[in-house]
Structure 1
Amino acid sequence: MVTHPEAITPPYEYFVVFGLGAVLLAAIATFEWRRGRRPIRFLVFVVVWIMVAVYGGAVELSHVRKTRAKARSGTYQSVQGCLESFHPGKPYASKTVNADEVWSVGGERFQYGAGQGIFAWHRVETQGGAIHADSWVAVDFMRDEDDRRNDILRLAVRQHACPRAPDTLQLS
């Protein structure tokens, strides 16, 4: 993505889902209003839904714009070395971070999961991802302060080049 900043795009499928949800909710509210019902709680829900969707979309678009600009100007961060820790991710999407792959190198922590709708690298080891506990990595990334994560823009990996990193998140 560093060499092709135009590939950094927002997750448009989420905009479609939340937009269609807002249209559907507004249509139901209008239908109920015309039938003589005054569903005030439902109308409040619709307004809140639309406000949250617009705010979330604006935040994501702002982050994409900033990331593209930093990729073009080369002002992103870089780190390289053997992994300090590695927790493999699950091959399925989850509503919590329990299924996320988590690893660190050079004091920076990276966390992502299968099924995430982000532009950055997010393929976990169990789905054919390149990073393993004994990998050497070179990572170009940008900090996403809104989601408090590091978004991976470029990743170079050498397999079996390091001692195996411990799984510091392993649950007994």
Structure 2
Amino acid sequence: MTRWLALALLVPAAAWAQPKGDPDWPCPQRLVPVVSAAALWPEAGEGDWRAEPDVATLVGRIAPRAVEEREGVAAIEGFAAPLGVDRRRRLLPLAFAGALEETNAQRGQVIEQIRRFARHQRELAGRVRGLEAELRAAPPEAREELEQRHAFAAKTYTEAERTLRYACEVPVRLEARLGAYARALRAALPPE
């Protein structure tokens, strides 16, 4: 077993994350469960964005996780271009409210998946440590099977850690994309 893996198994991933934070949050990024409107657009739209069919359609186009930032920004620009001044002032803040709501829902799902994954990783690390203890105490004739089980569990843990690092980036990317959407929507607003 590599030296870093041995250390990783001894120290839970959550201990490397933010101090005194959520024990199920293993990511190096600070846990922000919900992005606030005030952080990106202090005067976000009032009203129900779903009640405006054009806005609901735009949000449906730009909000899915698979949509790249540049595609979403282009959709926003295309949406805003033909609108008159009054409609821009009314609809663009609603579009931001919809994008914010949908992004927060997606981020919430991803955050919960990451938490479940972190709990699973802690359990797996415990299993690896248990197998190591069994190996140390096992008679020579029982070691081969234990070594195989230990190697499999350690490999599974290592591969899952790589997946976890990728998963930790998803909420950050969603938040960054939302920021780009807010900038595009605000840029399309007419000056007052």
Instruction: Please give the range of the TM-score, normalised by the shorter of the 2 chains.
Output: 0.3 to 0.5
TM-score, reference length from structure 1 = 0.36
TM-score (norm 2): 0.33
More helix by share: 2
- Greater radius of gyration (CA): 2
